[in-house]
Every structure is written in C-alpha cells, then in structure tokens.
Structure 1
Amino acid sequence: MSDTQRLQPGKDHPITVTPGDTRVIVTRAGTTIADSIEALVLREAAYPDVMYLPRADVRMDLLERTDHTTHCPYKGDASYYSISGAGDESANAVWTYEAPYDAVAPIRDHLAFYPDEVDIELRTAGA
C-alpha cells in the first residue's frame, strides 16, 4: 500500500486486544459463516468493539478474497473478503490483518466482520 503511516497506541488512542468471554456466531442469509469460542476483542479509542475470530473457526469456503485493501496507522494493512457462498454476495464484508503491527499482533490469523453485512450473535461461552 502507498500509505504507510505507522503510529503507536497510547493514552490519546488506546488499543487493547483481549480474549473474548462469549461464543460468537456469524451468519448471513441463514448460513453460519463462523462459530468461535476463541474470539478476540479489539477495543480501539472511542470506536465500537470488534470481534476477531480465528481463521480455523471461519468457513473460508464461503469467502472470496478481493483486491480491496486499506491501511490503519495503528494496525497495519487490511485485506478483504466478500461473502459469496451464503445467499447473496456481500462485497468486502470481512477483513483481516495478515501482518499486523506489534501492538495488535494477536489479531494475526483472525477475521472480523462488518456487523451491517452479517448477523453476529454473542452467547454465553457454554451455550
């Protein structure tokens, strides 16, 4: 990517990554795309929390990689997937940081979903 600004989280822009304490189920058009009890919660400044699910818990066969990319000065370069195998296609609805900056290294090999493109259900971990 051409924009390579790199910033460190701090008191003016805090970022934390912690293990989630819920089961996360992601569906679209009635099809389960992901189901995980090992999601990570990324909390960044005043933004809504984002659940990052391990690739192993995501149905990658339902996703199609796109050429779309973005850059976050705190996390790095994001790559995107469309959801193609769950009813209608949802372009760039899923993102991942394959080589995240050190401050958010735990999200490597995890995927996040735009909540307006999928249904995200949080359940008690044992449910």
Structure 2
Amino acid sequence: MPQAPRIELHPVSQRVQVQVQVGGKLLADSSQAFELRETGYPPRHYFPREDVRMDLLTTSETTTHCPFKGSTVYFSLGENKDIAWSYEQPIEGMEVIVGRVAFGEEENE
C-alpha cells in the first residue's frame, strides 16, 4: 500500500517575495508566509491575501482537490494561467492555509 505524502507546515522567519518572470511585477511580499513541504513537490510559500497583489490576479475556472490538503481555486495573471492557488476549503489539520495564496514556478525568495 502506498504511503501518504508527508506534509510539514512552518512559519517563515524571513521576508519572502514573488515576482513574475516576465514583466517583473511584484505579486507578493510578506514576512508572514508559511512554508509547506510535501513529499515529491518543491517547497511552497503560502502568503496572507493582504500581502498579495490580488488586483493583478483573476480567478480561474480551474479547481482541484488534494486528499491531503483540501479543495483549491486557481488564479491567472494575463496569459499566465493558473500561476497561483488557494485552499478555500482545507481539510482538518490544514486550516492555517485557508485563504492563503501560493505560487507556482514564478516563486522567488
């Protein structure tokens, strides 16, 4: 039987920023991010929405469900589809990430 992925979630003690590779727009800047580490995936930072330029993002039609984290909605930036996501309905034990926004490959520290 395959083993469930291990998930670790920790507050980040330093400032974290996300900038879009094309155009150089700063999308997120926070000293209150959480870092989520999950087996088989790169670490991701989850930002409070007030530290994200939500005015630059549009809600995508994409939704997914992770049995280990919950249900997500995705966000796009112009032609960059589904570059960010948020767990609007996390499962029990993952409530700390509710409403926080994470980014894909564009993430920088």
Query: Into which bin does the TM-score normalised by the smaller protein fall?
Result: 0.7 to 0.9
- The TM-score normalised by the length of structure 1 is 0.76
Q: CA RMSD in A?
A: 1.4
- 1:103 and 1:13 map into 2 onto residues whose CA distance is 15
Secondary structure, aligned partner of 2:50: helix
Quote how far apart the aligned CAs of 1:12 are: 4.5
1:24: which partner in 2? Answer: 16
Match of 1:57 in 2: 51
SS at match of 1:56: helix
Partner of 1:14: 6
Task: Flag structure 2 segments of 5+ consecutive residues without an equivalent.
Answer: none
Structure 1: unaligned runs, 5 residues or longer: 1-10, 123-127
Corresponding letter in the other structure for 2:37: R
Percent identity of equivalent pairs = 40
- Is structure 2 residue 64 aligned with structure 1 residue 70? yes
Structure 1 segments, 4+ long, off by >2 Å, are none
SS, match of residue 99 in structure 1:
strand
More displaced, 44-53 or 34-43?
44-53
Name the larger-Rg structure.
1
- Does residue 105 of structure 2 align to residue 111 of structure 1? no
Q: TM-score of the superposition, structure 2-length normalised?
A: 0.88
Alignment length, in residue pairs?
105
